Amino acid sequence: MPITVSLTVNGKPASREVEPRTLLVELLRDHLGLTGTHVGCDTSQCGACVIHLNGRSVKSCAVLAVQAEGASVLTIEGLATPDGTLHPMQAAFREHHGLQCGFCTPGMVMSAVDLLKQNPRPSETEVRDWLEGNLCRCTGYQNIIKAVLACAEATAPAASAG
């Protein structure tokens, strides 16, 4: 029996009728046309589908759309400002070439943004540990880590004064 799901996506209200078995990532991609969130593995290992659900990073292939009723969702499309200015994490990934084919990038960026919200100045080890749930098949990890650390350096509230 179809169910109506109403939620906020990237700050805007959205409402769609879905089957209960519809995944959140399917709602985002197929019903709302937000194809920046990727599906890599379909077994919740790879993290390409990471989005923020009520402010915390989750794998949107392991959440039903109906579980997001009333929730606030942030996807990669919601990071940049309306005038196109990249989010500092996106800018850092570009600056440090934190991608190769780019398929894992939306999930990497969303996961990394959540990390810096909780831990504004992570160590390299903490960044690597945090990104455990995000796989880069190109093995581009070195520059991904570099980008996250550079973003932390640039944006941390108490950036080191020396």
Partner 1 sequence: MYAFDYHRPASLAEVARLLASREDAKLLAGGQTLLPTLRQRLAQPTDLVDLAQVDELRGLRAVDDGLLVGAMTTHHTVSASPVARRVIPALAELAGGIGDPQVRNRGTLGGSIANNDPAADYPAALLALGATVRTNKRAIRADAFFTGLFETALDPGELVTAVQFTRPDRARYLKLRSQASRYATAGVFVATFGTAVRVAVTGAGACVFRWTDAERALAADFRPDVIDGLTLDPGDLNGDIHASAEYRAHLVKVLVRRAVNQC
79 versus 115: smaller Cβ distance to partner 1:
115
Q: How far is the CB of 111 from partner 1 (least distance, A)?
A: 7
Q: Residues near 14 by Cβ (< 8 Å), separated by ≥ 6? A: 6, 7, 8, 32
CB distance 70 to 5 below 8 Å: no
Of 137, 15, 133, 2, nearest to 68 by C-alpha is 15
CB distance 63 to 44 below 8 Å: no
77 versus 126: smaller Cβ distance to partner 1:
126
Subset of 7-36 contacting partner 1 (CB under 8 A): 19-21, 23
Q: How far is the CB of 148 from partner 1 (least distance, A)?
A: 13
The residues binding partner 1 (CB under 8 A) are 1, 3, 19-21, 23, 42-44, 47, 50, 53, 56-59, 61-64, 66-67, 69, 111, 114-115, 130, 132-134
